[in-house]
Structure 1
Amino acid sequence: MLALYPLTILAVSLGALATRITTDSAAVSGRTFDYVVAGAGLGGITVATKLSARGYSVLIIEAGKDLQNHAPIYDAERRGELNKDPATDCNWHYTGSDENGTALSVKIDSGKCIGGSTSINGMVWYRPACAELDALEGLGNPGWNSESMFSYMRDIEHNHPPSVAQRAAGADIVWSQHGFDGPLNVSFPVPMRIPAAQALYKAAITLVFGIPRGRDLSDRQGSVSASTSWTIWWDPVARITRRASAAYTLLYPKDKQQATLTVLAEHTVDKVIFNKLMKATGVQFGSPATKKLFTVNVKREVILAAGSLATPPILERSGVGSKEVLKAAGIKQLVDLPGVGRNLQDQPGTGLSALVQTANASNTLVIDNRNIFAPVITLLNIDQLFGDRAPSRFHVVHTAHRPCSAGSAAMAGQLQKSIGARAKAAVDSGAEVNLAGATELYTTVMNLITKQKMPVSELISESYPAVMTSVFWPLTPLSRGHIHIKSSDPFTQPIITPRFLTDDFDVDVAVQIAKKARSVYQTPLFAPIISQLVVDSVAANATDAEWAAWYKSTSFGVSHWMGSSSMRPRKSGGVVSPELNVYGTQGLRIADASIMPFQVTSHTMSLVYTIGQKAADMILPGGWEW
């Protein structure tokens, strides 16, 4: 049976037993809570609900609104209507900058409401591979390995295995890779999307890349091509596909109400307050509407879970960060922690489309208007992406574009040889703290790419009315950026410098996946379906340099931000310990994607649910089961 819940929680009827959701600062100002959590997104809701279930008083402070009754959020197939009305906007729309301080043309998406980015994301669910999680432990983080982390992923998941009809349309799971008793609904859509197109894509992708069809995106050692499952469930009463966000899963349902939990919405966390021993004793927060600041007291711990783009600014406003950044913002340094805000990573994506023949315009087996993103996902390693074909150039940092005769084996060798140069470039750009730490990190990532053969590119196969579309990106980017505050004002956006595609390898991966994505549509399988290719202004005989220019001009961050408060040794540029404690402080932890020092090859939800659960169990061992 599906884990059903109503649209609205009717908290009033539950009286004193209900979780309190309020926008009234007076309800919490001056009070003392056992725990205060910054951010009501995935990590924050997960850790907060586990702590409050143990009987401790917990406050979550969230900058965004409570939009639980907003249809484009709860109705998964209406996600195309998101963020069109300022009154119901759940998106920060951050502005990014290049290294010269010039604003990027595409805004940065990040969730700004209760539920965070799980309220607006593509809902894709699958797990990282074992090798990359074990590599996390290898960076000096004991206990952070595939065995321990997979147990949390199973605990949270309530997988609904595909029906006979869904299996016939392409769905499948490997049972050992999933959980079936957790609160988070994971399923395939009812009915399956574009089954004929899914079969076409899988067959053509096998031809182009030589990758066999997989059963399950979570069942892999590295690369895979398979149908996608989502954090959704079919509501047979309302007859809609409902989004299973963190809020709809752990906060809003009637059976999840906790009198010990309070959520203050529409208020921004300014900073953490410390005593002389650098123990977190409170949190200062404010209303963007009035700019007035308030304080709440903390008895036990503060947990920052505001995400990779908001947690570092809170730390810096609290006096935790690099001396240069804090001095420029007029903030007294309390803890010298230069790794704050560095090592920022996301994946730069773009796409291309093929027009569908008129005869197929109404064939819903091939194209449809259902906005459930990414029905087929393919993850490709360097052998599958490059094979024996020559990359556009050797991979030494800042080399010029020039042809070479190396295939993927030679590329792997060049990547290993370039670690020192890449580490130096990252430090010089402000993306890393020191050469030793950067070298250690790049060595780990290079081993994943070249020895473990982790995927380096993701290809999403889609269709919309009149077109078939591919969306793609470098999956394990080597480019690194940074994020820092520019003033002490908590209501001013930080300076976000992603430095997308500043590494030659990322550009090569981008060019190759774009070219091969076009090749998928050029296979004979698609001849009866499409009428012509549409790739903006890239000509059929475009050079790699022209492809690279096109990619850079059309790409955008796919909002899988990580790394800006990395979990690794302090001497290496780390911000938190393996116990998620912020170095140099007491009673302050981080529980969001910012702790990840490198990108993983899955979408991020399974990982961040794990971080939130693991954080709660570290804070209160022997924790409550879902």
Structure 2
Amino acid sequence: MVLECTGGGTSGLTLATRLSEDPSVSVIVIEAGPANLDDPEILNPALIDNRFGRPEYDWGFQTVPQKFCKDRSVPFNRGKGLGGSSALNFLQYHRPARSDIDALGELGNQGWNWELLEPYYAKSERFILPVEKNNTLTYDVAHHGLDGPLAVGFPTPLSTFEHPFQMAMKNLGIDLIKDPIKGAWYTPVTIDPTERVRSYAANKYYQPNASRENLTVVVCAQVTKIVTELDHNALATAVEVVFHNEEALYTVKVGKEVILSAGTIMSPQILELSGIGDRTILQEFDIEPRVHLPGVGENVQEHFFSGVVSEVRPEVVSELYQTSGTGIFGIPPTCISFVPLATISADHETLQKSLATLINEAISSKRISPSLQKQYEITLKHQQDREPSCEFILWPLWRPIPNTPAPGKQYLIVSTLLNHPISRGSIHIASSDPLVPPKINPRYFEYEYDLLQLVEQIKFARKILDQEPVKNLLAGNELSPGRDVQTDEQIADFVKSALSTTWHTVGSCSMLPLEDGGVVDSRLKVHSTTNIRVIDMSIIPLHICAHTQATAYALGELGADIIKGKALISGD
């Protein structure tokens, strides 16, 4: 049995490593980027932001100009190379709320719920208990795996900003919690605290098993197309591959299955180049339609953020970073809160009513599909049930914002993320040339509701920085938005100027019934195909209120067991 895994990223390497545990199965991983193994720029957590935009690490995607966001084209960084975005990300590792996972089943994926996926979160994780005595750390070992490949823990030492952030949130009425997420707590990160290095798919899944004779990894090789034969369904017979710096096109014959783990951006691109997608889009680029699947590249959802930036008092800035690489300016952020909209906004009932009105108007005018109606109704119910949807993170300012930082100053930002957007985007091919990047259109703020909610979150972020004991750490100078930005209209204008992606894109190959615009079924097989699966974050049909890294690993783990026949989905 030979399995081709297209993409050596977070889910892909997890999947390949688990599948190759069976010596009777041969697994070939084809990765577009370089190996980048044992690269200190990846392994050193203090170099967290130095690889963005560099082609040996980053695909460097850009969105199309965003109509409702001042026609800005927003950078859409993605990890390129073994490990994918687990080699490029900000290392945060946590599970979403149970309600987010149960929603997968509510959308028509029979058998998908928290009970199915929770063991696979645990299977990937090796949670390392903190060695230093710190009474402010909040965690529950029962919500962590202890025997998985991926080292997960807390940075040591924690910075002087962590505890004040927690206390400020408590003073604002936010519960301090352990696990699971709904309140303020310290998120674990994918760092091995004993070695102080990044723990990611390449060094924890692949490298310890690289000597397996039945596991082959090919790098700097981009899959351009899945070749199919048509009978009752499309049967994959080969994949076409182009090696970088070569003009020749190679064909790799398919054994048992082709598994797409190219990520939310590239998985739909490969499907469309293979003739699997909306026939109207395919015919525009003279691609022969093999399977008409209009859902390919649709239903795209993205967490996006803005934030409030304030100057840190000079005497508070730790010298630890210069001497030992520790302190908040040398570690990934761990101060984090996931809270319901009702907790942070006095106008939450008005916003909920506006969301209900939006849904009803969209239904009556037939502007949305029945599937999207279900998604919106679940989102509204989660808000009414006070499930978390708003996120706040304290971290050092690290990338340009509308107002220019003063030389020699240090700044903190409370970033605020919108985790359950109403706007839906798309990712489609821009050319029949497989090396041309896809057209990425998140459609930020297509529905004004998203903007109004983010305005409320910015107002609460200001309260955090104005609340003791955080306030005592700051110089009192708000760099951004700036104290002259006060009205909701002014804040909304600022948000449009300062919005950024959080690299948590999902939905472009949604796991939904075929009649609901789905791309894959509950066993992750592409509809109307015999032997093509998609296993990565693109299958998530309704976004989760969490960073996506832990779920990407869990999907790889679960996907492997589905293929092995060890995970039985209801209806099997």
- How high is the TM-score relative to the length of structure 2? 0.91
Q: Which residue of 1 aligns with 2:400?
A: none
Q: Give the distance between the partners of 2:274 and 2:491, measured in 1 at CA.
A: 44
Is 1:91 the counterpart of 2:58 in the alignment? yes
Q: Which residue of 1 aligns with 2:416?
A: 472
* TM-superposition CA deviations, 1:49-100 (whole Å, max 9, x none): 11122121111111101101321101222223224755xx311110111366
Judged with a 3 Å threshold, the aligned counterparts in structure 2 of structure 1 residues 284 and 200 are, in CA distance, closer, same or farther, namely same
Q: Give the distance between the partners of 1:560 and 1:411, measured in 2 at CA.
A: 24
Is 1:503 the counterpart of 2:447 in the alignment? yes
Judged with a 3 Å threshold, the aligned counterparts in structure 2 of structure 1 residues 369 and 139 are, in CA distance, closer, same or farther, namely closer
Is 1:75 the counterpart of 2:44 in the alignment? yes
Judged with a 3 Å threshold, the aligned counterparts in structure 2 of structure 1 residues 541 and 35 are, in CA distance, closer, same or farther, namely closer
Q: Name the SS of the counterpart of 2:469 in structure 1.
A: helix
**Matching residue's letter, 2:80:** K
Judged with a 3 Å threshold, the aligned counterparts in structure 2 of structure 1 residues 122 and 130 are, in CA distance, closer, same or farther, namely same
Q: Which residue of 1 aligns with 2:382?
A: 448
Q: Which residue of 2 aligns with 1:286?
A: 242
Q: Name the SS of the counterpart of 1:125 in structure 2.
A: coil
Report the aligned-residue RMSD.
2.2
Q: Which residue of 2 aligns with 1:328?
A: 284
Q: Which residue of 1 aligns with 2:168?
A: 204
Structure 1 residue 591, shift from structure 2 partner: 0.2
Q: Name the SS of the counterpart of 1:229 in structure 2.
A: coil
Q: Give the distance between the partners of 1:500 and 1:60, measured in 2 at CA.
A: 34
- Name which of 259, 262, 267 aligns with 2:216: 262
Name which of structure 1's ranges 354-363 and 593-602 shifts more when overlaid on structure 2: 354-363
Whether the 8 Å CA contact 1:72–1:80 is kept in 2: the answer is no
Is 1:173 the counterpart of 2:139 in the alignment? yes
Q: Give the distance between the partners of 1:84 and 1:109, measured in 2 at CA.
A: 7
Structure 1 residue 159, shift from structure 2 partner: 0.4
Q: Give the distance between the partners of 1:423 and 1:294, measured in 2 at CA.
A: 48
Q: Give the distance between the partners of 1:358 and 1:100, measured in 2 at CA.
A: 40
Whether the 8 Å CA contact 1:95–1:103 is kept in 2: the answer is no
- Name which of 56, 63, 67 aligns with 2:32: 63
Q: Which residue of 2 aligns with 1:373?
A: 332
Structure 1 residue 290, shift from structure 2 partner: 2.5
Whether the 8 Å CA contact 2:103–2:542 is kept in 1: the answer is no
Judged with a 3 Å threshold, the aligned counterparts in structure 2 of structure 1 residues 100 and 516 are, in CA distance, closer, same or farther, namely closer
Q: Which residue of 2 aligns with 1:19?
A: none
1:353-502 aligned at under 5 Å gives the runs 353-362=309-318, 368=327, 370-386=329-345, 389-390=346-347, 408-422=348-362, 435-451=369-385, 453-463=386-396, 466-502=410-446
Q: Name the SS of the counterpart of 1:279 in structure 2.
A: strand
Is 1:52 the counterpart of 2:6 in the alignment? no
Question: Could you list the runs of 5+ residues in structure 1 that have no partner in the other structure?
Answer: 1-32, 391-407, 429-433
* TM-superposition CA deviations, 1:8-40 (whole Å, max 9, x none): xxxxxxxxxxxxxxxxxxxxxxxxx71111100
1:289-368 aligned at under 5 Å gives the runs 289-362=245-318, 368=327
Judged with a 3 Å threshold, the aligned counterparts in structure 2 of structure 1 residues 281 and 527 are, in CA distance, closer, same or farther, namely closer
Q: Name the SS of the counterpart of 1:263 in structure 2.
A: strand
Q: Which residue of 2 aligns with 1:163?
A: 131
**Matching residue's letter, 2:140:** V
Q: Name the SS of the counterpart of 2:383 in structure 1.
A: helix
Structure 1 residue 288, shift from structure 2 partner: 3.6
Whether the 8 Å CA contact 2:298–2:425 is kept in 1: the answer is yes
Q: Give the distance between the partners of 1:423 and 1:551, measured in 2 at CA.
A: 29
Q: Give the distance between the partners of 1:361 and 1:557, measured in 2 at CA.
A: 28
Judged with a 3 Å threshold, the aligned counterparts in structure 2 of structure 1 residues 140 and 503 are, in CA distance, closer, same or farther, namely same
Q: Give the distance between the partners of 1:183 and 1:39, measured in 2 at CA.
A: 20
- Name which of 462, 486, 506 aligns with 1:518: 462
Is 1:273 the counterpart of 2:220 in the alignment? no
Structure 1 residue 151, shift from structure 2 partner: 0.6
Whether the 8 Å CA contact 1:40–1:60 is kept in 2: the answer is yes
Q: Give the distance between the partners of 1:380 and 1:525, measured in 2 at CA.
A: 20
Structure 1 residue 454, shift from structure 2 partner: 2.0
Q: Give the distance between the partners of 2:458 and 2:66, measured in 1 at CA.
A: 25
Q: Give the distance between the partners of 1:63 and 1:385, measured in 2 at CA.
A: 43
Q: Which residue of 1 aligns with 2:529?
A: 585
1:501-580 aligned at under 5 Å gives the runs 501-536=445-480, 538-540=482-484, 542-580=486-524
Q: Give the distance between the partners of 1:143 and 1:486, measured in 2 at CA.
A: 36
**Matching residue's letter, 2:26:** S
Structure 1 residue 105, shift from structure 2 partner: 3.7
Q: Name the SS of the counterpart of 2:413 in structure 1.
A: strand
Judged with a 3 Å threshold, the aligned counterparts in structure 2 of structure 1 residues 524 and 581 are, in CA distance, closer, same or farther, namely closer
Structure 1 residue 540, shift from structure 2 partner: 4.0
Whether the 8 Å CA contact 1:424–1:435 is kept in 2: the answer is no
Whether the 8 Å CA contact 2:525–2:531 is kept in 1: the answer is yes
Q: Give the distance between the partners of 2:351 and 2:210, measured in 1 at CA.
A: 51
Q: Give the distance between the partners of 2:410 and 2:327, measured in 1 at CA.
A: 9
Q: Which residue of 1 aligns with 2:176?
A: 213
**Matching residue's letter, 2:459:** K
Is 1:247 the counterpart of 2:202 in the alignment? yes
Structure 1 residue 532, shift from structure 2 partner: 2.0
1:107-186 aligned at under 5 Å gives the runs 107-165=75-133, 167-168=134-135, 170-186=136-152
Q: Name the SS of the counterpart of 2:508 in structure 1.
A: coil
Judged with a 3 Å threshold, the aligned counterparts in structure 2 of structure 1 residues 372 and 147 are, in CA distance, closer, same or farther, namely same
Judged with a 3 Å threshold, the aligned counterparts in structure 2 of structure 1 residues 472 and 99 are, in CA distance, closer, same or farther, namely closer
Question: Could you list the runs of 5+ residues in structure 2 that have no partner in the other structure?
Answer: 398-408, 568-572
Q: Give the distance between the partners of 1:361 and 1:231, measured in 2 at CA.
A: 25
Q: Give the distance between the partners of 2:27 and 2:392, measured in 1 at CA.
A: 41
Q: Name the SS of the counterpart of 2:48 in structure 1.
A: helix
Identity %: 29
Q: Give the distance between the partners of 2:410 and 2:560, measured in 1 at CA.
A: 47
Judged with a 3 Å threshold, the aligned counterparts in structure 2 of structure 1 residues 186 and 211 are, in CA distance, closer, same or farther, namely same
